[in-house]
Structure 1
Amino acid sequence: MRILHTMLRVGDLDRSLDFYTSVLGMKLLRRQDYPEGKFTLAFIGYQDEANGAVLELTHNWGVTEYELGTAYGHIALAVDDAYKACDDIRARGGKVVREAGPMKHGSTVIAFVEDPDGYKIELIQRA
């Protein structure tokens, strides 16, 4: 077994696709409208689905926002340099909500950014 994808419901698919592709550098792998169900699925990632886990962005037509709830934590991305990643993300219009620095009670350098729907993405600097 392996993880295939994680699904996030988004209020504005084009805005979310722009964030994940332009700000975080992912690729749109496939997109499909389901008119009878009134939703669209878009799969994005850094590699194709056969070789790694991806994100599924689900847009339910007519729904513009969601409550994130208290169970959701974050998505984690490995980066070479968390400080530079924050600068690059900010320069591309992204929102950094926790600047790069050592994690509490540890030495791993992390940072957090937020997507347009408020989902948190952790950046973990490779050792």
Structure 2
Amino acid sequence: MSFRLLHTMIRVGDLDASIAFYTGLLGMKLLRRQDYPDRRFTLAFVGYGDEAANAVIELTHNWDTPRYDLGNGFGHIALGVPDIHATCDALAKAGAKITRPPGPMKHGTTIIAFIEDPDGYKIELIERK
């Protein structure tokens, strides 16, 4: 038996703001977007490469739900970056909310930072030289 991670789905309140965040600030590509008018929702898939070879993020926008409570079950999405300080500086200048500035993780040496997307979902940045 063989498995492959296909996507992670998050519900978003403002689809255009979320697409702008993931594509503009984080450099992902909008891979596909489909409206489902009869069910009043839109799916948008963003990622760093084709879905056939890469895991992606599914942004689900229910037209009649402007906001979601994040709950406490979801943790975060993690992205590797080559220079975490330069990345956080650029993201902050572009308006991203840095919730934990770059620094070593507790009880370790890995350098991490956290940002939030427009809906408050946490994104961990991990320095990978």
Q: TM-score, normalised by structure 2?
A: 0.96
Among 35, 38, 49, the residue aligned to 1:36: 38
- The equivalent residue for 1:24 is 26
In structure 2, C-alpha distance between the alignment counterparts of 1:85 and 1:99, rounded to whole Å: 11
- The equivalent residue for 1:13 is 15
Among 46, 50, 53, the residue aligned to 2:52: 50
Displacement of 1:79 in angstroms is 0.5
Percent identity over the alignment? 65
- The equivalent residue for 1:3 is 5
Q: Is the 8 A contact 1:22 1:92 kept in 2?
A: no
Structure 2: runs of 5+ lacking an equivalent: none
Structure 1: runs of 5+ lacking an equivalent: none
Displacement of 1:81 in angstroms is 1.0
Pairwise CA RMSD: 0.7
Q: Deviations over 1:15-67 (max 9, x none)?
A: 11111111111110000000111000000001110111000000000211001
In structure 1, C-alpha distance between the alignment counterparts of 2:12 and 2:73, rounded to whole Å: 17
Displacement of 1:88 in angstroms is 1.1
Among 92, 104, 107, the residue aligned to 1:105: 107
Displacement of 1:91 in angstroms is 1.5
In structure 2, C-alpha distance between the alignment counterparts of 1:21 and 1:113, rounded to whole Å: 15
Among 92, 101, 104, the residue aligned to 1:90: 92
